[in-house]
Structure 1
Amino acid sequence: MRSVLTALVLVLLSAAPAISEQFLGRTVAISDGRSDTSVAAPVIIAMHGFLGTSRNMQRKTSFDQLARRNGFVVVYPNGEGRRWNDGRSPDNPVDDVGYLSALIGSLVSDGLADPQRVYLTGHSNGGGMAMRMACDRPDLIAAISVVATKLPTAYTCANGAAVPAILFHGTEDPIAPHTGRPEGSRLGATLSAQDSLAVWERRNRCSGAVTTQEIDRANDGTEAHISQYAPCTAPLTYVLIHGHGHDWPGVGQRSTRLQGPATREVDAAQLSWWFFSAL
């Protein structure tokens, strides 16, 4: 039997607003930027943070506009219970690796996704899920983009195939602190930003020089440092944003008590697409 996403693909005849459907009991929103819907395209699966939703993820990023301009597809799935099993809670029985693997398989079989150009991005808990997929199912994805999270200490990333990755970390993040969350934390213990980066340096087998570009044009109290690692078996880019908090970079343009200060120096969606499209 063909996937329930087949009917959805048939009605996405133009770059219309995202349309919601059900896949394995969860709501999935799809924004199709293809000019020719008969041709498989790059797909970005964008995952919300803890207690977020697919619509929330769609609203706070600029992926839909980028998709229309560049001819790719964005898929916004919902985590069960508005969270993803990124490995921080070993007793969590939800098989999100299985769910996302099935979703990718359906997108490919329906002719929507080019199997060589399936990318994952996520904010906070969704970024943790992107890392877990890169660790557990590197065969299914071409690259990941991780925003405002670090690797859980309860989860061990297997030393498998290298996966291209771009990581965004803010030094003033109150929810996923730059120094990591300690054992016993309500949200789960994590490595620091530097130690999380080191895991990806080892996994992607990076050695040698690091080229860093500094961006400080918005006069907003933040400064972005974009570092590219080379040589690596798979590309690795690290975006360190001094003065930035937990929000999605480039969209949240105000400071909040919960998420901390927000940057306008870089846009995480634009930089993620730049990274993906250059592979």
Structure 2
Amino acid sequence: MNRMLRLLGLLCFLLSSCSSPFQTEQLPIQAPTFIGGLRPAEVVVPREYDHKERYPLIILLHGYSATARLNDLIFQLERRVDIADFILLLPEGTENPDGDQFWNATPECCDYFGQGVDDVVYLTALIEEAKATLAVDPQHVVLLGHSNGGYMAYRMACEYPKLFKRIVVVAGLSFLNPQDCLGQDPVSLVHVHGTEDEVVSYDLGADEVSRWLSKGGCDTGFSLMATKDFNSGLMGEETEILIVRGHEVCNFFV
């Protein structure tokens, strides 16, 4: 588990960038602890938060039946807010009749009771509110989604790709029918997936990455860059880091 946490911590560093000074109008000196109105999302800012600077914004989208705080126990983003100097936003999905929180991402996942929640509208409004009330660098907005949250991150990339610097998906997919992904704009993508995943297929994840590479005009073939030992419970270096051949701008991890 500790090795997995270090891997996910490394993802956080990939997402962050140094803050830069800027002049702003009307931003409150103190950052709010929640935004989002009737669906409040917790805000975590660096201890040395300065409303006259701009910070990367990372939005963590939890998995099915989880909560934002529960997912952050795995990703450990809050403890890196001061280290990497970014703002963390922790929104919650909607509770279904079974008491499980979910994101209404695609027909496959995960509005199983047909509640019809428009999470695209919610998250879009949440990002706009964050830009208006927090010292966010609009050029460095990142969605990090796990499982059902990964589906939601892909859904947002299909419909509003210009809102983000990149998305990071762990064990998630987009629409099974590629034609349902309306947007044609590419996004910067980090996709992490376990080959032994019995819930969300690794092979479908690889297909998903290939589709996004095609959107960006990138080579859809992968080559092995490195192997790593992130799991002490398995013998040897169980993790492969794959890279797109011949395109620096298309390099990604899977």
Alignment of 1:214-229 (within 5 A): 214-216=227-229, 218-221=231-234, 223-229=238-244
Alignment of 1:147-226 (within 5 A): 147-153=170-176, 156-179=180-203, 192-207=204-219, 210-211=222-223, 212-216=225-229, 218-221=231-234, 223-226=238-241
Look up the match of 1:33. Answer: 46
- Whether the aligned pair in 2 keeps the contact of 1:44 and 1:119 (CA below 8 Å) is yes
Alignment of 1:49-68 (within 5 A): 49-68=63-82
Aligned length: 214
1:111-147 deviation digits (Å, cap 9, x = unpaired): 4211111000010000111111111001111100000
1:47-88 deviation digits (Å, cap 9, x = unpaired): 100111111122221211222101101111001221111112
CA change 1:234–1:98 in 2 (3 A) is: farther
CA change 1:217–1:175 in 2 (3 A) is: closer
CA change 1:134–1:230 in 2 (3 A) is: farther
CA change 1:193–1:111 in 2 (3 A) is: closer
**Equivalents in 2 of 1:165, 1:45: separation in Å?**
15
- Whether the aligned pair in 1 keeps the contact of 2:39 and 2:92 (CA below 8 Å) is yes
CA change 1:219–1:60 in 2 (3 A) is: closer
CA change 1:208–1:146 in 2 (3 A) is: closer
When you count helix as a share of all residues, which structure comes out higher?
2
Offset, 1:230 = 5.0
From 94, 103, 116, the equivalent of 2:126 is 103
Quote the sequence identity (%).
Answer: 28
- Whether the aligned pair in 2 keeps the contact of 1:162 and 1:233 (CA below 8 Å) is no
Cα root mean square deviation, aligned: 2.6
**Equivalents in 2 of 1:114, 1:228: separation in Å?**
28
From 123, 129, 145, the equivalent of 1:122 is 145
Q: Which runs of 5+ in 1 are unaligned?
A: 1-5, 13-18, 180-191, 240-279
CA change 1:34–1:229 in 2 (3 A) is: farther
- TM-score w.r.t. length of structure 2: 0.75
1:16-73 deviation digits (Å, cap 9, x = unpaired): xxx4x35131131221126242122100000100111111122221211222101101
| SS of aligned partner of 2:163 | coil
Look up the match of 2:106. Answer: 87
Look up the match of 1:10. Answer: 30
CA change 1:235–1:74 in 2 (3 A) is: farther
**Equivalents in 1 of 2:47, 2:216: separation in Å?**
31
- Whether the aligned pair in 2 keeps the contact of 1:48 and 1:124 (CA below 8 Å) is yes
**Equivalents in 1 of 2:105, 2:244: separation in Å?**
25
Q: What letter matches 1:42 in structure 2? A: P
Alignment of 1:243-262 (within 5 A): none
CA change 1:10–1:152 in 2 (3 A) is: same
**Equivalents in 1 of 2:88, 2:210: separation in Å?**
29
1:171-202 deviation digits (Å, cap 9, x = unpaired): 111221324xxxxxxxxxxxx12221221121
| SS of aligned partner of 1:56 | helix
Offset, 1:154 = 5.3
CA change 1:206–1:98 in 2 (3 A) is: same
- TM-score w.r.t. length of structure 1: 0.68
From 61, 72, 76, the equivalent of 2:90 is 76
**Equivalents in 1 of 2:120, 2:62: separation in Å?**
15
CA change 1:231–1:34 in 2 (3 A) is: farther
